[in-house]
A = this chain, B = another copy of it.
Amino acid sequence: MIAVLKPGATEQQIQSLADWIRSQGLTVHLSTGRYQTIVGLVGDTTRIDEDLLGSLSYVETVKRISEPFKSANRKFHPDNSVIRAGDTLVGDGHFAVIAGPCSVESEEQVAEIARAVKQSGATMLRGGAFKPRTSPYDFQGLKADGIEILLHAKRETGLPIVSEIMNANHLPMFEEVDVIQVGARNMQNFELLKELGKTQKTILLKRGLAATLKEFLMSAEYIMAGGNENVILCERGIRTFETYTRNTLDLSAVPVLHELSHLPVIVDPSHATGSAKLVEPMALAAAAAGADGLMIEVHNDPVHAMCDGAQSLTPEQFDKTMRHVRLVLDAITDIEH
């Protein structure tokens, strides 16, 4: 970490800063130029508050050389992480396909979709029991009953299940849920992240609508700092000025997150685009960009889905998309060897 001091910084100010840095367990490297003094902070700067340093009256600018995240950082963990989800694996060549309805509606619905997506090659079943909706008057999910329905489908098909949590108090209900999803709106619900960090559950963390990639990794760090290293990252589109798609899928997130972190990165083309027609091309693109998996909404009757129907595939469309994704994955495999 480097702090560039303002031209007028006094000897006393520089000394007091150096003392404070040393009190944080770091080494100070002073470089006194004719015009400006540059202060290097050497050691583990993860715990240094960049804002605090930058707010000192005689500091012009602060620049981190190393990232402020540690557990999630590839520098300290060069190999790709492989995360367990039920009896399947995600990352480092293990490609996850998480499919299912946006909302759990009924036992028949979920069972039928689960059988179909398993047949097409899905490795996990998703379904929302607790639904974050913009309006308090929109359908909020079947809650505990929804979890039960998912568990029933898990017993029937053997597929691990993924479902979203909105409140740490609900954790007991998620005991048999294999992967707990943190939605985009809760990516910086730090209280929830801390609670999940105390468990050993696998967490699927979705990127917030306005979160930078570094903030996204800092949220993963919240979970990991608590002792839970089972985190899967999910790019699902960011909010931009473009209105044709619901969000703008930022696929460069895949190679960037792979560069910065060892955690697996999956892509949700359904929520990113909000349009069933765009799911396949974006799923193929995600696979080609090196994603470790996909999360795709599948509904047996999209036109009556209780939410987000416009972005769901039918089981038939999903089957076709899966065949095409495998073609790209095979091509990519050739590439990486």
- Given contacts A243-B243, A328-B332, whether A51 and B308 have CB atoms under 8 Å apart is yes
Nearest CB of B to A34, in Å:
7
- Given contacts A241-B240, A327-B334, whether A190 and B132 have CB atoms under 8 Å apart is yes
Which residues in B have their C-beta under 8 angstroms from that of A60? 65
Interface size on A, residues (CB 8 A): 103
Separation of A286 and B102 alpha carbons in the complex (Å): 27
Judge whether A277 is part of the interface by a CB distance below 8 angstroms: yes
Which residues in B have their C-beta under 8 angstroms from that of A168? 167
Chain B residue with the shortest CB-CB distance to A306: B52
Q: Are B309 and A55 in contact (CB under 8 A)?
A: yes
Judge whether A8 is part of the interface by a CB distance below 8 angstroms: no
Chain B residue with the shortest CB-CB distance to A226: B136
Q: Which listed residue, B2, B133, B324, touches A190 by the CB 8 Å rule?
A: B133
Separation of A68 and B138 alpha carbons in the complex (Å): 10
Q: Are A282 and B289 in contact (CB under 8 A)?
A: yes
Interface-located stretch among A36-44, A83-91, A144-152: A36-44
Nearest CB of B to A168, in Å:
8
Q: Are A245 and B252 in contact (CB under 8 A)?
A: yes
Interface-located stretch among A116-124, A154-162, A172-180, A253-261: A253-261
- Given contacts A33-B31, A210-B209, A244-B213, whether A278 and B255 have CB atoms under 8 Å apart is yes
Judge whether A242 is part of the interface by a CB distance below 8 angstroms: yes
Q: Are A166 and B139 in contact (CB under 8 A)?
A: no
Separation of A33 and B255 alpha carbons in the complex (Å): 32
Main secondary structure on A side of the interface with B: mixed
Identify which of residues 208-225 in chain A touch chain B, using a CB-to-CB cut-off of 8 Å.
208-210, 212-215, 218, 221-222, 225
Copies of this subunit: 4
Judge whether A26 is part of the interface by a CB distance below 8 angstroms: no
Which residues in B have their C-beta under 8 angstroms from that of A245? 252, 256
The interface centre, meaning the residue of A65, A166, A281 with most chain B CB atoms within 10 A of its CB, is: A281
Separation of A14 and B212 alpha carbons in the complex (Å): 33
Judge whether A57 is part of the interface by a CB distance below 8 angstroms: yes
A interface list, Cβ under 8 A from B: 2, 4, 29, 31, 33-36, 38, 40, 42, 46-47, 49, 51-52, 54-57, 60-61, 63, 65, 68-69, 132-139, 166-169, 185-186, 188-191, 194, 208-210, 212-215, 218, 221-222, 225-226, 238-245, 248-252, 254-256, 259, 272-273, 277-278, 281-282, 284-290, 302-303, 305-310, 324, 327-328, 330-332, 334-335
